[in-house]
Amino acid sequence: MDASVAEQQRILASDWGGGKSPFGTDWPKFMMWIFIISDALTFAAMLIAYGFMRSISPSWPVQTHVFNMVLITFMTFDLISSSAVMAMAVGAARAGDAKAAVKYLALTILGGAIFLGCQVYEWAHFIEHGARLYHNPWGVPQFAASFFVITGFHGFHVFSGLTILAIVAIRAAMGKYSATSVENAGLYWHFVDVVWVFVFAFFYLL
Amino acid sequence: MSNDHAHATSNKQYFTTWCWLLLMTLFALGIGYVPMPEGLKAVLLVCTTLAKIVLIGSIFMHLKFEKMNLVMLTFSPLILAAIMYFFTRGETRMHDDSHQLINHQGEHIPTEAEGAEAAEGAHAK
């Protein structure tokens, strides 16, 4: 009997005993993490499907021959840089420095907009060479289809991120913001960066 | 003043992380261009990508300051991706020598073995 009471007390004192967050976060941040994890599963499924399609295809174009790798590397550099600046915006917001937070948020938005511009250029160039969703000059329909779906889905995330960041930046400039809102927007932006790291390695280089 | 100091300290760490990420990106780019067996290239790219993810997650997303319960939760997509990969691997043509690579003009790119065979043939003639 004593042992069961001690066991009950041990459970109540643990992270899972109730009355506190087992994950040590507030709800908005925890929900953002849940969203990021579910979205990561979607991208993981897409990249695995891409790998499967590619490996069952009798032939596949060499990506470094097809894509402008200087542009793709610049896009990667740009997104990593904007992610670093976003981390600085979160640091400034946590320290209560609204002016610095707005400045870093604006730089992050600029980096994201440049990335999106490069992606539009890359799409236009690819389409100009005859690539369509269901056929392309290389004779491997899945190649262009996977390009449009994966980079398009990621580009849509970048666009959504820019919208979220713009709202947070405007609110911060008006003095109506919380460090949590900047941090949550930052988590989403870093996630967009993480997805691109996978796309860069597995779609463009492998 | 203390806030400024806190910014300077953390910003320095962000800058260091940024430098490492750029170095790893250049390394990954090098792997993409250097001729090597596909298997080795895949392993190196996966390792480089995971190292980048760990850096972004721990430093930029502050996971190194979070509770282990949350950190473990973030690994679930990677575990499920690995399951999906090994689940479908048996049906792929990874060890199929008839798999061809083509260039931007749709021409066949010879594999290393085919290249060596062609060279031997030319030498014999």
pLDDT surpassing 90 at residue A34? yes
List alpha helices for chain B, DSSP H. 2-33, 38-55, 68-74, 76-89, 112-124
Q: Smallest CA–CA separation between A126 and chain B, in Å? A: 11
The complex's ipTM?
0.87
Model confidence at A61, pLDDT cuts 50, 70, 90, reads confident
Nearest CB to B3 within list A65, A96, A204: A96
Distance CA A197, CA A46 (A): 14
pLDDT in tens, A75-117: 999 999 999 999 999 999 999 899 999 999 999 999 999 999 9
Pairing of strands B108-109, B100-102: antiparallel
State how far the alpha carbon of A200 is from the alpha carbons of A57, A62, A197, B40, B89, in Å. 21, 14, 5, 17, 22
Give A76's contacts in chain B (Cβ within 8 Å).
Answer: 25
pLDDT surpassing 80 at residue A190? yes
% of chain A at pLDDT higher than 70 = 100
**What's the number of CA atoms in the CB half-sphere (13 Å) around residue A97?**
19
Q: Which residues, in sequence order, are CB contacts of B119 under 8 Å at separation 6+?
A: none
Whether B81 and A24 lie within 8 Å, measured CB to CB: no
Instruction: Answer yes or no: are the C-beta atoms of A63 and A140 closer than 8 Å.
Output: no
Confidence (pLDDT) at B120? 67
Q: Smallest CA–CA separation between A57 and chain B, in Å? A: 8
- The count of domains in chain A is 1
Instruction: Answer yes or no: are the C-beta atoms of A84 and B125 closer than 8 Å.
Output: no
Structural domain for A124, as ranges: 26-205
State how far the alpha carbon of B125 is from the alpha carbons of A3, A145, B113, B119, in Å. 87, 44, 19, 10
Give A74's contacts in chain B (Cβ within 8 Å).
Answer: none
On whether residue A8 sits in a domain, the answer given is no
pLDDT in tens, B20-52: 999 999 999 999 888 888 889 889 999 999 999
On whether residue A49 sits in a domain, the answer given is yes
Name the stretches of chain B with pLDDT < 70.
Answer: 1-9, 92-125
Domain CATH number, residue A87: 1.20.120.80
The mean per-residue pLDDT over the stretch A182-206 comes to: 94
Confidence (pLDDT) at B3? 41
Give me A42's structure tokens: 């979607």
What pTM was computed for the model? 0.84
On whether residue A156 sits in a domain, the answer given is yes
Q: Does B60 touch chain A (CB under 8 A)?
A: yes
Give me B66's structure tokens: 């979070």
